[in-house]
Every structure is written in structure tokens, then in C-alpha cells.
Copies of this chain bind each other. A is one copy, B any other.
Amino acid sequence: MKNIGREYENLDQKVYQVIKSMIENRQLLPGQKIPQEKLAAELGISRTPLISALKFLEHEKLIETKPRRGFYVRLFEIEEMISIFEIREVLEGLSARRAAQTITANQKKELQKLFKDFPVGRPIEDFQAYSKADRQFHNFIAEIGSKEFLTSILQTFNIIALAYQYPTREGLVRDPNDTIVDHHNIIEAICNHDPEGAEKLMRKHLELTIHELKTFNAQEKTGS
């Protein structure tokens, strides 16, 4: 008989996770060069699996390779961020639609719990906690209705959106006191098994972020 259940994980997959979270919580900053030898030593491995992981991350656009110059943490221009949010708009619209079609009773409970500390009306103060809930919200919806495929694409975008921190609020573009309403509405549509509504609301939600980004970009260009 064959031993199928074995869960072996290569070093590069572990390193991949480590670097990903280092980018996520800003231990590695956008634009920064990756010191291969140093980082490998720190992680207690050789350069081989590290490079392997970096190659993998290159494809997620979290890392950029400059041949003969090394690996760099990707730095996004605002135009690129707009383009990324446009992709998110249609993809997350899809995942909201699918979620509304397939959500189970247990998943409903979990989804409704996410923003329980942020009821509509009460002003939001803890931006960091809200930012975290926001991320969980988008990830969870992706997971409910989608095959592994879509989930992994969306997770990448999520990290990019996060990595591109805004000077003002903790990784958030729009004011939480505005977005909280969207979130509650989307959750309601999904829990009511309303695919069309869920898709429309999710797209609107992200469309407003895009609008905000475009405004910000226009301001930058004219000179703050």
C-alpha cells in the first residue's frame, strides 16, 4: 500500500511563507534590497531554497528581480495600485456572487462575527483592528465561494493592497466610518443568498476605493 497522507514540505515553501509575512508586517520594506547571504544565515539555510522562494514571490509581484543586481521588495506606483484595485473589483465581485450561492449556516455565523466590534453608528477608533477585520472579510469571502485558484490570486492582491500602506490610516484608503456600512450590507446580501446584490455591492465598495485613489493621484500630480 502507498503512503499518501505524508505531509512533507520543502524548505522553500516554508521560507516563502516567512518572507511573505515579513513583507506583510513591514520587516522588509518596499524598495528594499534582499540581502541573500545575510537573510539565509538568519534563517539558518543556504541560498538555494531562499532564491527558490524569492523566485516564487516574484511571480506574485511581491518581489522584483533585477538581473545581476538582486531581489527587491516590490514598490508600487499609484497607477499600478489603481489597476490592481480594478482587478479586485471584478474578481471580488465574482467571489461575493459565488459566496452568496454556496454559503453554509456555519459560514454565515463566522462572517457575521467579523465586524461585531464595529456596529454601524459607533465611531471607529482602533484602525489597526479594523484593518485586520477588513482583510479577514475579503479573504473569507474569497474562500467561501471559490476554488483554490481564485483564492490564491485574491490573497496576493490583498497583500499588495496592504503592503502599499497609506501615510494616513493603517493600510486603509477610505475612512472606516464609511466602509463599515458597505461591509454590513455585503454580509447581509451574502447571508440572504442574493448573488446579484452581493456582486453589485462588492463592486461598488471597491469602485469607491478606486475613486479615492484616483483623486489622491490627481492631487499628487498637481502638487499636493
**CB within 8 Å of B: which residues of A?**
8-10, 12-13, 48, 51-52, 55-56, 58-61, 65, 67-68, 79-80, 83-84, 86-87, 89-91, 93-94, 98, 146-147, 149-150, 153
Contact = CB atoms under 8 A, between A and B. Distances in A.
Given A10-B67, A56-B59, A146 B83 contact: yes
A158 B79 CA distance: 25
A139 B8 CA distance: 38
Nearest to A77: B147
A36 B148 CA distance: 27
B153 A67 contact: no
Given A10-B67, A55-B56, A90 B94 contact: yes
Contacts of A8: 67-68
Contact of A83 (B12, B65, B87, B149): B149
9 tightest CB-CB pairs across the interface, nearest first? A90-B90, A59-B59, A83-B147, A8-B67, A90-B94, A55-B55, A10-B67, A52-B55, A8-B68
A87 B55 contact: no
Contact of A153 (B93, B98, B153): B153
